[in-house]
């Protein structure tokens, strides 16, 4: 199944979607290489997600301004779909814009500042295989350039916005990928910006769960019947891409649950699950995090607590070294 939308190529940079909507894509969509969007109506503009650092965001904003100089020169509003830095670290580049995010997104942003990732990178040489893996994921980005800027307005469930005459609906669907996951729906354009509810062509990451919330989020997108879906990572897609992510999550849940019942550790489950049907998807080592999330949901870590981030990244490094 081809998951990319047939009308759009997966190339770096700006893509005009029509009806005043744009997408900014960053192949290959792996760690940190996220997408953004912009809506323009009259002299107003709204940006969906900034990027992982200041240089990347500034380059994107220049392209947005060239595409819509009447509006994008002074961005009115930014929506952060969730707290991961590749979707909000560039907020400072639009000091005049009002930032909107879910309350849980802001709480998680404050708990996971850019300096945390920079700290791991600073220690990478002493961490051996783990350090090399972390550097391969996050080394290309300039976290020292980031001064966190948080939302000016938060919401709890749904929030209706307007960008000029364009109506925009924000819908909280977390916790799933993260606590604050938010879908951005533009009904008149039959368009959804999904944030990291969708990874197209790459393995999703269940940082939070429960899995059912993520499945429900996919069902919500499908119920809207959009013609265009801009994922958090990967190419512009259609409802087929939504169904593919839903199928992946269902498969991982079923396979991990079966191995939990058989007494395997989450590590052994991750290394045992066949990923043949997803062999073309990037970052397969994320199955480690996904199995840990399922095991946590099943109560496997009630006594000792869930594995911490260094442990998960060490196991992903081991997985990638073994599997390539």
Residue 227: its pLDDT value, please?
Answer: 98
Angle formed at CA 230 by CA 165 and CA 58, multiple of 5 degrees: 80
Q: In what order do the strands lie in the sheet with 158-163?
A: 158-163, 166-172, 182-186, 191-199, 228-233
Lowest-confidence pick of 69-78, 114-123, 200-209: 69-78
Which residues have a Cβ under 8 Å from the Cβ of 65 and sit 6 or more positions away? 72, 73
Can you give the CATH number for the domain in which 39 is found?
3.60.15.10
Residue 265 in any domain: the answer is no
Report the domain count for the chain: 1
Higher model confidence: residue 75 or residue 133? 133
Residue 59 in any domain: the answer is yes
Residue 84 in any domain: the answer is yes
Of 34, 154, 149, nearest in space to 89 by CA: 149
**pLDDT of 69 strictly over 90:** no
Residue 310 in any domain: the answer is no
Residues of the chain above pLDDT 70, percent: 98
How far is the C-alpha of 176 from the C-alpha of 277, rounded, in Å?
A: 23
Residue 309: its pLDDT value, please?
Answer: 93
Which residues have a Cβ under 8 Å from the Cβ of 307 and sit 6 or more positions away? 266, 292, 301, 315
Expressed as residue numbers, the domain containing 49 is 13-238
* Angle of helix 309-323 versus helix 128-138 axis, rounded to 10: 90
Of 219, 216, 173, nearest in space to 196 by CA: 173
Per-residue confidence band for 292, with pLDDT thresholds at 50, 70 and 90? very high
Longest dimension (CA), the chain: 61
Residue 123: its pLDDT value, please?
Answer: 94
How far is the C-alpha of 213 from the C-alpha of 151, rounded, in Å?
A: 24
Contacts 24+ apart (CB under 8 A), 5-9: 5/228, 5/229, 5/235, 5/236, 5/237, 5/238, 8/235, 8/236, 9/235
Backbone angles phi, psi at 243, to 5 degrees: -65, -35
Angle formed at CA 216 by CA 215 and CA 219, multiple of 5 degrees: 90
**pLDDT of 1 strictly over 80:** no
Residue 244 in any domain: the answer is no
Residue 298 in any domain: the answer is no
Per residue in 143-194, pLDDT (tens digit) is: 999 999 999 999 999 999 999 889 999 999 999 999 999 999 999 999 999 9
How far is the C-alpha of 305 from the C-alpha of 188, rounded, in Å?
A: 46
Rounded alpha-carbon distances, angstroms, from residue 144 to 55, 111, 160, 232, 308: 11, 17, 35, 23, 24
Residue 71: its pLDDT value, please?
Answer: 67
**pLDDT of 303 strictly over 90:** no
Residue 253: its pLDDT value, please?
Answer: 98
**pLDDT of 323 strictly over 90:** no
How far is the C-alpha of 213 from the C-alpha of 81, rounded, in Å?
A: 16
For residues 180 and 225, the answer to whether their CB atoms sit within 8 Å is no
Q: What is the mean pLDDT of residues 51-56?
A: 98
Residue 197: its pLDDT value, please?
Answer: 98
Residue 37 in any domain: the answer is yes
Residue 305: its pLDDT value, please?
Answer: 87
How far is the C-alpha of 117 from the C-alpha of 140, rounded, in Å?
A: 12
Residue 7 in any domain: the answer is no
Per residue in 246-276, pLDDT (tens digit) is: 999 999 999 999 999 999 999 999 999 999 9
Q: 37: which strand partners?
A: 23, 48
Give the residue carrying structure tokens 């489950």: 269
Of 180, 161, 192, nearest in space to 82 by CA: 180
**pLDDT of 74 strictly over 80:** no
Rounded to the nearest integer, the mean pLDDT of the chain is 96
Of 120, 151, 123, nearest in space to 138 by CA: 120
Per-residue confidence band for 97, with pLDDT thresholds at 50, 70 and 90? very high
Alpha helix stretches (DSSP H) within the chain: 54-67, 103-111, 114-122, 128-138, 211-224, 239-261, 266-272, 287-297, 309-323
Residue 72: its pLDDT value, please?
Answer: 65
Of 77, 61, 69, nearest in space to 13 by CA: 61
Per-residue confidence band for 22, with pLDDT thresholds at 50, 70 and 90? very high
């Amino acid at each position: 199944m081809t998951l990319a939308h047939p009308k759009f190529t997966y190339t770096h940079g700006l893509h005009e979607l029509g009806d005043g909507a744009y997408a900014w894509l960053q192949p290959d969509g792996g760690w940190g290489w996220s997408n953004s969007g912009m809506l323009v109506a009259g002299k107003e503009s709204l940006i969906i997600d900034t990027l992982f650092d200041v240089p990347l965001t500034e380059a994107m904003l220049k392209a947005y301004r060239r595409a819509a100089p009447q509006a994008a020169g002074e961005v009115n509003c930014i929506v952060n779909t969730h707290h991961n830095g590749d979707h909000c670290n560039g907020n400072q580049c639009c000091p005049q814009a009002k930032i909107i995010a879910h309350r849980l997104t802001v709480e998680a942003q404050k708990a996971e500042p850019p300096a945390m990732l920079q700290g791991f990178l600073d220690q990478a040489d002493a961490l051996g295989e783990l350090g090399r893996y972390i550097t391969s994921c996050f080394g290309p980005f300039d976290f020292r350039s980031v001064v966190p800027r948080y939302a000016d307005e938060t919401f709890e469930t749904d929030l209706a916005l307007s960008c000029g005459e364009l109506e925009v609906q924000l819908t909280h669907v977390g916790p799933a990928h993260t606590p604050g996951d938010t879908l951005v729906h533009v009904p008149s354009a039959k368009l959804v910006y999904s944030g990291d509810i969708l990874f197209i062509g790459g393995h999703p990451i269940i940082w939070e769960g429960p899995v059912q919330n993520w499945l429900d989020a996919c069902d919500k997108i499908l119920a809207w019947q959009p013609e265009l879906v801009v994922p958090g990572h990967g190419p512009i897609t259609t409802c087929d891409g939504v169904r593919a992510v839903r199928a992946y999550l269902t498969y991982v849940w079923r396979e991990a649950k079966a191995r939990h019942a058989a007494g395997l550790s989450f590590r052994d489950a991750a290394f045992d699950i066949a990923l043949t049907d997803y062999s073309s998807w990037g970052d397969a080592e994320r199955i480690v995090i996904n199995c840990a999330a399922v095991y946590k949901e099943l109560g496997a870590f009630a006594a000792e607590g869930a594995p911490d981030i260094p442990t998960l990244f060490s196991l992903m490094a081991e997985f990638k070294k073994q599997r390539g």
